[in-house]
Chains A and B, each alone.
Chain A
Amino acid sequence: MPTTFTPPEIDRHHHISDGNNGQKPPTDKRTGGNGDGDGDNFSNRPQGHRGPRERLSQARVGLFFALGGDLMFFVALVSVFFVTKASGHFDAYSHFINEWLPTAIPTILWLNTAVLLLSSVTAEVARQAMFREHDAMDEWFGIGRPISKRATLWLSLTLFLGGLFLAGQWAAWDQLAAQHVFFRTNPSSHFFYLITITHALHLFLGIIGLIAALMFLQFSRSLSTRQVVVDTTVWYWHVMGILWVFLFLLLEYGQ
């Protein structure tokens, strides 16, 4: 677990028992972080504005649910994949007809997958950089922007690799088109395109996220905002990477 910019000894866990009605539970005295840039006394701020740890975990929880929903979307697609693969009908002469012709997966997808995995590594380096406590201290005190610089570098690399992946996917579609395999061609190609395109759309969102993160690194004055944006973007990127591995294995070996 990377450290966030909150001195841990102040971040108390308190337990509130029920039943002892009337007893005032301990007050949350978390401090630290760069909040909204107005004043340092965070315990006077309303909930949700009391420092970076709080905003960070909030953003992560939101992302968690969003990805949970998204996962259900792909679960539905993959279920339909298996149902369609197994379905067939008897024609007028009692022959069993199954139109499913496995789509030959262009080998460039292996390369794309490697690129995407690599981009996850660079993204992770950027994310870790954001939480290097020592440097973060410097940055908070306004002594240069060491971590933002590092993160910018690694995120740009991620952005590049992500772009490369999308370009690679595009090349794969091109190759298939050259072999006259289109979305319409047969049930299996429906899924090849459906899965790769919906995933590419998600990755495209990730790219927008990366660009946004880069902008924040450049222009945002609040360290915690930068941390939150980078952290969520990178987590999103990781999940899309893992998801792709599953989808790719499904297309490669599951057809």
Chain B
Amino acid sequence: MSRLTDHRTIGFGYLLLSLLAVLIGTLLSLAMRAHLAWPNWPLPLHGPILPEEYLALVTMHGTLMLFFVLTVAPQSGFSNLILPAQIGSRHMAFPRLNALGLYLTALALFTLLAAFFVPGGAPIGGWTAYPPLSETALAGPGQGLGMDLWLASIAIFSIASTLSSINTLTTILKLRCEGMTWQRLPLTVWGWFTAALLSVLAFSVLLAALLLLFCDRHLHSAFFLPAQDLVNGVLLQHHGDGSPLLWLHLFWFFGHPEVYIAILPGMGLTSMVIANFAHRRVFAYRLMIATTLLIGFLGILVWGHHMFVAGLNPFAGTAFSISTMAIAIPASAKVLSWLATLWRSRPTLSTPMLFALGFVSLFITGGITGPILAQPILDEYLHNTFFVVAHFHLIMAMAGIFGLFCAIYYWAPLLFHRTLSEPLGKLHFWATILGAYSTFLPMHFTGLAGEPRHYAQLSGVAGPATDLLQSTLPLQRHITASAIFLVCAQLPFLLNLILSLRRPAQHLDNPWQATTMEWAPNALTPHPTEDQTIVYREPCHYSDSGKEFLTQWSTASTFSPEPE
């Protein structure tokens, strides 16, 4: 197999892309935060940030982080690096398709970044690109060529994700090694599987929506435009009368599954890592599989909870509220199972375990506000305030990133043939979790005070509105300071990566005493001809005391007698 289509090369390619995206996205978020706390602060080499530039920052930050970091790294990146080994295969089903996915993703990323450099700048409509703001260049700077590039980028990205998911699904379905029954699949694989199913369903719908929006913009159709629309003094009269709400439906039909695509692989990994370090079976393993699938399934039915006050029929609000409350139940079941697995387990608190625990904590904290937002009467107050921003940064941004860090520290021996430094890792963990809570918890309070999202400044015109928003200023400064701290907290991580990669490679044989197949000897060598891969049992097979374990590939049938 050629080097370019090797799944590990592709996996690293995806990780590098998302690393680039996360670096840029983080810098953008710093600029945003600085601007919110000190509106007159001149950005070095640039000067003060204009309102439309602020909106462009938010839009690009959200797009980069959600698509190019949290969809690419856990789903495409790590599934390429680890999934084949975990199911006892040596490769992915369609190597060329896989490589094509990577190149298209890279193309999409550079198309998106190009939007910064075109006349008018990057789009300003948020990552949700609601029409008619996204329909015409008249609606604002960035809505011309910048918006077109955004559309093109996301369209390419949709195709790339679909390709990558087809590959993942086929690999899981067809390339499991002998004995790898569905119930013996690690929960990580279940996470990738469900997320890939969601990708295939959701991204196609997004692609259709993008195509229609493109037609509206350039071919005078009006799928998302009313019969007449007066933008910037120009009366747009396209043929037909569509509705902006139609875009909202299509977008969120994609958008909600998308956020679960971002978190499901992390959930699976957390479950496995917790069991690994607690030396326990995952509590209620089958239920965990069922809830993973159930979250995926319900995730398709809840999109309307983003539209409670968007102009829907109020009865629809009720229906979506019920389906959304229902999705909290499998999520809670997962939390309970994590807690039960951990209960009195005296786990080893190595860095990957710390990040898994951090994932649990952040998932609870971010998730618990989900059911609050899911009640239309409360969302009527909270919608588009920073309360929502707090919700999704804790559960998605922070929990998702913790999942990524967990993956990197845990699988480092497989990725880099080295473990990462533990002291630096622990420093990284404690600083990051502190920074995460200190940045995003206070946002609940500015949100409850009424601060809307996307506000470039908190002093528009003098009056009660400005009085209200200005009252959040002390908290704003605190949030910004914490965000700077949070970003600095990533330096130990980068340092750790650099230092470790400069050390000579070690030979590490299952250093975490894990039970899953990726740690089997030779699991990563491309063509093992001598030994066949066979799986004999479910993962996480530990003795009652936790002192002994049987790997999935071990041929031993019982534990040796427990030492007293």
Chain A residues at the B interface, C-beta cutoff of 8 Å: 16, 18, 21-25, 27-28, 43-48, 54, 57-58, 61-62, 65-66, 68-77, 80, 83-84, 87-89, 97, 99-100, 183-187, 190, 194, 198
Interface residues of B in 535-555 (CB under 8 A from A): 536-538, 541, 550, 555
Given the interface contacts A61-B173, A84-B242, A97-B241, does A27 sit within 8 Å of B532 by beta carbon?
yes
B85 within 8 A of A: no
Question: Quick check: A46 and B241 within 8 Å, CB to CB?
Answer: no
Considering the complex, give the chain A residue whose CB is closest to the CB of B247. Answer: A80
Chain B residues at the A interface, C-beta cutoff of 8 Å: 88-91, 93-94, 97, 162, 165-167, 169-170, 173-179, 181, 183-184, 200-205, 207-209, 211-212, 215, 219-223, 226-227, 239-243, 246, 250, 253, 527-529, 532-534, 536-538, 541, 550, 555-558
The 10 nearest A-B residue pairs measured at CB: A22-B557, A187-B240, A76-B208, A72-B204, A73-B204, A69-B200, A62-B170, A69-B204, A21-B537, A76-B205
Q: A184-B220, A186-B239 are in contact. List 9 more A-B contacts (CB 8 A).
A: A21-B541, A24-B555, A46-B527, A46-B528, A66-B166, A69-B204, A80-B208, A84-B242, A87-B242
Task: Give the chain B neighbours of A75 by CB distance below 8 A.
Answer: 205
Given the interface contacts A18-B183, A21-B541, A190-B215, does A47 sit within 8 Å of B90 by beta carbon?
yes
Least Cβ–Cβ distance between B79 and chain A, in angstroms: 15
A164 to B193, CA, bound (A): 40
Question: Quick check: B170 and A65 within 8 Å, CB to CB?
Answer: yes
Question: Quick check: A87 and B241 within 8 Å, CB to CB?
Answer: yes
Question: Quick check: A72 and B201 within 8 Å, CB to CB?
Answer: yes
Question: Quick check: A89 and B227 within 8 Å, CB to CB?
Answer: yes
Task: Give the chain B neighbours of A72 by CB distance below 8 A.
Answer: 200-202, 204-205, 208
Task: Give the chain B neighbours of A80 by CB distance below 8 A.
Answer: 208, 212, 223, 246, 250
Question: Quick check: B175 and A24 within 8 Å, CB to CB?
Answer: no
Considering the complex, give the chain B residue whose CB is closest to the CB of A58. Answer: B174
Question: Quick check: B162 and A69 within 8 Å, CB to CB?
Answer: yes
Least Cβ–Cβ distance between B289 and chain A, in angstroms: 13
Question: Quick check: B226 and A69 within 8 Å, CB to CB?
Answer: no
Considering the complex, give the chain A residue whose CB is closest to the CB of B94. Answer: A62
| Centre residue among A23, A61, A62, A89 by max chain B CB count within 10 A | A62
A47 to B220, CA, bound (A): 52
Question: Can you name 21 A-B residue pairings with CB atoms under 8 Å?
Answer: A18-B181, A18-B537, A21-B536, A22-B537, A27-B532, A48-B174, A68-B200, A68-B201, A69-B162, A69-B201, A72-B208, A73-B208, A84-B242, A89-B226, A99-B239, A99-B241, A184-B221, A184-B239, A187-B222, A187-B241, A194-B212
Question: Quick check: B215 and A87 within 8 Å, CB to CB?
Answer: no
Question: Quick check: B208 and A77 within 8 Å, CB to CB?
Answer: yes
Question: Quick check: A44 and B221 within 8 Å, CB to CB?
Answer: no
Considering the complex, give the chain A residue whose CB is closest to the CB of B538. Answer: A18
Least Cβ–Cβ distance between B45 and chain A, in angstroms: 43
Question: Quick check: B94 and A97 within 8 Å, CB to CB?
Answer: no
Least Cβ–Cβ distance between B261 and chain A, in angstroms: 14
A24 to B534, CA, bound (A): 8
Least Cβ–Cβ distance between A204 and chain B, in angstroms: 16
Task: Give the chain A neighbours of B242 by CB distance below 8 A.
Answer: 83-84, 87, 187
Task: Give the chain A neighbours of B201 by CB distance below 8 A.
Answer: 68-69, 72
Task: Give the chain A neighbours of B200 by CB distance below 8 A.
Answer: 65, 68-69, 72
| Centre residue among A16, A44, A97 by max chain B CB count within 10 A | A16
Given the interface contacts A23-B536, A186-B239, does A28 sit within 8 Å of B205 by beta carbon?
no
A47 to B533, CA, bound (A): 9
A88 to B529, CA, bound (A): 67
Task: Give the chain A neighbours of B541 by CB distance below 8 A.
Answer: 21
A101 to B181, CA, bound (A): 55
Least Cβ–Cβ distance between B541 and chain A, in angstroms: 7
Question: Quick check: A22 and B536 within 8 Å, CB to CB?
Answer: yes
Question: Quick check: B183 and A73 within 8 Å, CB to CB?
Answer: no
Question: Quick check: B240 and A16 within 8 Å, CB to CB?
Answer: no
Question: Quick check: A21 and B550 within 8 Å, CB to CB?
Answer: yes
Question: Quick check: B177 and A47 within 8 Å, CB to CB?
Answer: yes
Least Cβ–Cβ distance between B163 and chain A, in angstroms: 8
Given the interface contacts A24-B555, A44-B529, A46-B528, does A18 sit within 8 Å of B239 by beta carbon?
no
| Centre residue among B97, B177, B178, B246 by max chain A CB count within 10 A | B178
Task: Give the chain B neighbours of A46 by CB distance below 8 A.
Answer: 89-91, 527-529
A54 to B176, CA, bound (A): 12
Considering the complex, give the chain A residue whose CB is closest to the CB of B90. Answer: A46
Considering the complex, give the chain A residue whose CB is closest to the CB of B238. Answer: A184
Residue from the list B174, B204, B536 in contact with A76, Cβ < 8 A: B204
